[in-house]
Amino acid sequence: MDVTGHPGHPYPASLQVDTPERMARWRPLVQWLLAIPHMLILYALGVLSWAVGIVSWFVVLITGRLPASLAGVQAMYLRYSDRTMTYAGFLVEEYPPFAFDTTGDDPGTYHGVLVDFEPELEHRNRLTTFFRWLLVIPHLIALFVVGFVATLAHIVGFFAVLITGRWPEGLRNIVVGFFRWTLRVNAYHMLLTDRYPPFSLR
């Protein structure tokens, strides 16, 4: 059984990050700076995503379905966000592409980071959609605590890569796990799925 409690059915939003065994020691100092163009684009995409989220909420409540075009925008935003943050957080070396694919499946244009979705388009739950903002509160509380731990892990990882050129596996797993958990909660909150996300880093 997977962590979602659904045998054979992983959560419909997933993140995989392949961090190189060895990294150039300068990367923790510079990659966040190189990511600034992507940060600016991500801000604009975030505004678009917010607007699409409001439209999606009303559409699902009225029709009981989520149009593929709206789901595609949210998938694109979340994928762009994770690619940007994993690069800025020196978890990967390759510079992320300026790509805006609105597909559920990751097109594979960025080696080392895969962000896949299986959006639920039909037969949506209107009740949980209406209360979606309330249902995510337990996860937001948990992520606040886990985020503090992940921040400490990232700080230690910064010095570890700077000195040794390697990410300690345990610390990397905490940071990537935090990103993965956040992605699932965002996918649920943005109505890409009605399946409640697991409280899990895996």
Residues whose CB is less than 8 angstroms from the CB of residue 178 and which lie 6 or more positions away in sequence, other chains included: 143, 146, 147, 149, 150, 201
Backbone angles phi, psi at 64, to 5 degrees: 75, 15
Q: What is the amino acid identity at position 150?
A: A
Query: Residue 9: what pLDDT?
Result: 65
- pLDDT tens digit string along 100-158? 999 999 999 999 999 999 999 999 999 999 999 999 999 999 999 999 999 999 999 99
Q: Which residue has the tokens 């097109």?
A: 107
Whole-model pTM? 0.92
Measured CA to CA, the distance from residue 73 to residue 81 in angstroms comes to 12
- How far, in whole angstroms, is CA 197 from its chain's centroid? 13
Secondary structure (3-state) at 26: coil
Nearest to 186 by CA among 132, 148, 150, 146: 132
Range with the lowest mean pLDDT among 3-12, 85-94, 102-111, 148-157? 3-12
